[in-house]
Amino acid sequence: MSAPTPSARHNDIMEQVPCNLCGHTETTLRFPDTRQDNHLEGSWSAFCCTHPGYGVHPPIVQCAHCGLVYTNPRPRRDAILHNYEEVVDPLYLQERHARELTFQRHLRKFEAFTGPAAGRRLLDVGAYIGVFVEEANRTGWRATGIEPSTWAVEYARERGLDVVRGVLDDDLFEPASFDAITMWDVFEHLGDPMNELQRMYDLLRPGGWIAVHTMDIGSLFARMMGRRWPWLMEMHIYYFTSRTLAEIIRKAGFEVRTVRPEGRYLRLKYLTTRLRPYSTLLAGIVDDGARLTGLDRLAIPLNMGDLVTAYARKPEA
């Protein structure tokens, strides 16, 4: 018997899904499938946080009823989870300083809503190697992380951090046991964002806060870039706008306080790897110049307006 073709193999793990926000199935195509014929789903490398596969993705559609943008068909939820369990991402370790600066700023803005930590419990969902958990501990939170990647959890535990391996569906925590829950650059990767929000709602004490940071496909930069917007990638399953992000959080029962753009810090050398898919020449010039001047390790703030954070609260009653 001949081996199955690549398309047959990846079709085995693909599924059609309804809109996660409104449940309808009628869609329009926003961006066609850009994968090559020899592309194989099921490889965890495309789901690495630092993977450079910009512009390579399954079909991306828009719900004809509520406007939510998402990949469809897409890998089954169990296939997505398996990929994240297998992820190994040493390049992320090289970006640690920039991540620390980013999370320090995120935490200051979050605490403007939550108030001082004062020993309260915080859960970071999709904690990866635990950088945000570590930063939260430093300001007085009793922070815990949950993360599916075996490699990332082992790294975090070696640093003495409370990061457990798993996902929220594993029911590893007691209901109403956290005062705050964060999700940084995770929401767009989930197979079922609404289910995740409902899990977070159950784990949060009344009056507790959540922060959800993701991309905004409705931003001016995203609209200007079109199909060349860098966040159109295989690892990203859902593409929210500020409106649809607020709507899905409200639908899960939260009171949304604000959704606003928030950028990040990137090491200049890492930034050039993000430029390379678009202009090898420009990336090479910037890379060579940064190396010669010793600026390649410099962490610079970057905000194109296409990354947003939603801050929301669970009602007191």
List, for residues 76-93, the tens digit of each pLDDT value.
Answer: 989 899 999 999 999 888
pLDDT digits (tens, 9 = 90+) for 113-149: 999 999 999 999 999 999 999 999 999 999 999 999 9
| Each residue's pLDDT tens digit, 211-254 | 999 999 999 999 999 999 989 999 999 999 999 999 999 999 99
Could you tell me the residue ranges of all domains in the chain? Answer: 90-313
Length of the chain, in residues: 317
Strand duo 69-71 + 238-239: pairing? antiparallel
Q: Which CATH architecture has domain 90-313?
A: 3-Layer(aba) Sandwich (3.40)
Identify the bridge partners of residue 208 per DSSP, sorted by sequence position. none
Position 2 scores a pLDDT of 36
pTM score of the predicted model: 0.89
